[in-house]
Amino acid sequence: MDSAAYYLGFDFSTQQLKVIAVNEQLLVVYEDNVHFDKDLPQFGSAIPGVGSVQKGSLMELHSSVNRIVAVARTQGGVHVHSDKLTVTSPVLMWLLALDCILDRMKSAGFNFSKVKALSGTGQPRLSDGFLHYPLIGQGLSNKSISDTLPSLQQFDAADVFYRTQHGSVYWKTGSRETLNHLPAEHPLHIALQTCFCIQDCPVWMDSSTSAECRHLEKSIGGAQALADITGSRAYERFTGNQIAKIYKAKPEEYSRCERISLVSSFAASLFIGDYAPIDCSDGSGMNLLDIHEKSWDEICLNACAPDLKEKLGSVVPSSSVLGNVSSYYVQRYGFSPLCRVIAFTGDNPASLAGMRLEEGDIAVSLGTSDTLFLWIKEPTPALEGHIFINPVQSQDYMALLCFKNGSLMREKIRDNCSSASWEEFSNILRSTPPGNNGHIGFYFDVMEITPQAVGVHRFDAENQKAS
Ligand SMILES: Nc1ncnc2c1ncn2[C@@H]1O[C@H](COP(=O)(O)OP(=O)(O)O)[C@@H](O)[C@H]1O
Ligand SMILES: O=C(CO)[C@@H](O)[C@H](O)COP(=O)(O)O
């Protein structure tokens, strides 16, 4: 029997779910993605039930999804509400995407039984950074995973990482029981369809909670005081403020909720068949966690909503082994029952770990959001930017700046200037020298996070505003 192990990573980004599997030599053995808008048209249709079912399409694979009623079009994987501030994603869309991607792997003959574990406390993990970017994997391909990550070979696990930070999922009372006994004959989006008290989950693009932010900062003694404890002043997309809004706007739904997960711990919960704890690093993006004590801050919790500590559960280091995959995956897909699941984390912490950043390195990530992050030893929280607990060494930290007008803004410029072609876009860019002869433009299609600004601002070489 071929004993080679596979290592598997899933990446829930704003716009799509990606999966990648690598072998011991870090060579990519499988890669796929489900694009939410394009591949799941039932969530991208303005009219309930509309969405043509093409032969061999994901829709055909999951004809049952026709029963899901879409009430609004997702664009870039999200619903932008009429106030232009509230931004959500349907929780069932994430479930369906996972069903689809796993079913496609099965149809393609992917051998799930070979998926093993690789994580260890304090070690860099086979995570988003090099699972997602095969080039990095190829750069290391003369070494085995065990050479590169010595302590990881002690685990047999599916190493699964989810992206996009701050988004939250609201489990209805009784759902733990359902999660514990997932029936292998049903896809997740059917088995879990009644488990959520909020169908449309707030995601990182949301900026509708300014009132909640001011309230939280006031309760704790000001913006800097909040940053000193949680690593960030109050930010609209941070989960504590989102929870406060849900508690105020939907008190009944809130009271019916037994567990609140981040998107990362939600995904981990699906794999272990139980509520997964939140990891310290992604948990730092909530305005609720004391980044020094690595525990929930009672004043922050109470300022946001009642009974929050019970609803959030515990916090664990990002490299924790959560347990084995639930029997659902063994029966439905043929995973090994020994396949372990490591705590899931946010996209940026996973990228820091996966790119094997060290102190002094700075990484820039250009995706739906653009981010800049670095490994730091001492946290010095300020009124701009964020300090998270480090996902690799939980006594260290990472600093992060996040820019909202990333790829979607670039796509708009590409469509206007280069007939929707990245190639042409790149050629135009190359046709001027770096620095563009002193001409510079700032393009903020939506209210930016860093700095808080909106609109197009262009300047010529003399620093005069250009039209
Ligand atoms: N050649 C390219 N040049 C610039 N941007 C690109 C190119 N190809 C894809 N993109 C953009 O990358 C974005 C997706 O990046 P990705 O890292 O997958 O997103 P996420 O941050 O949501 O994970 C898309 O919005 C797409 O427009
Ligand atoms: O809000 C932040 C970080 O604080 C964003 O970076 C989100 O985590 C979005 O992830 P992508 O979909 O852009 O990967």
User: Phi first, then psi: what are they for 388, rounded to 5°?
Assistant: -115, 155
Ligand nearest to the CA of 165: 2
pLDDT tens by residue, 178-210: 999 999 999 999 999 999 999 999 999 999 999
Mutate to test the pocket of ligand 1, among 16, 368, 404 (most ligand atoms within 8 A of CB): 368
Ligand 1 atom nearest 16 alpha carbon: 22
Ligand 2 atom nearest 386 alpha carbon: 4
Cα–Cα dist 95/38, whole Å: 16
As a whole-number percent, the residues of the chain with pLDDT over 70 amount to 83
> How much distance in Å is there from the Cα of 190 to the middle of ligand 2?
28
- The three-state secondary structure class of 25 is coil
Q: Is the CB of 15 under 6 A from ligand 1?
A: yes
pTM: 0.87
The answer to whether the CB of 412 falls within 8 A of the CB of 394 is: no
Token digits of residue 211: 């009132």
Note the pLDDT of residue 372. 97
Cα–Cα dist 266/276, whole Å: 7
128 pLDDT higher than 60: no
Residue identifier of the C-alpha nearest atom 16 of ligand 1: 367
Which residue bears the tokens 């779910």? 17
Q: Which residue type does 24 have? A: E
Lowest mean pLDDT among 7-16, 145-154, 382-391: 145-154
pLDDT grade for 342, boundaries at 50, 70 and 90: confident
User: Phi first, then psi: what are they for 59, rounded to 5°?
Assistant: -60, -40
Cα–Cα dist 104/193, whole Å: 21
The answer to whether the CB of 294 falls within 8 A of the CB of 314 is: no
Note the pLDDT of residue 138. 25
Ligand 2 neighbours, Cβ below 6 Å, are 13-14, 163-166, 204, 237, 285, 346-348, 367-369, 371, 402
ipTM over 0.90: yes
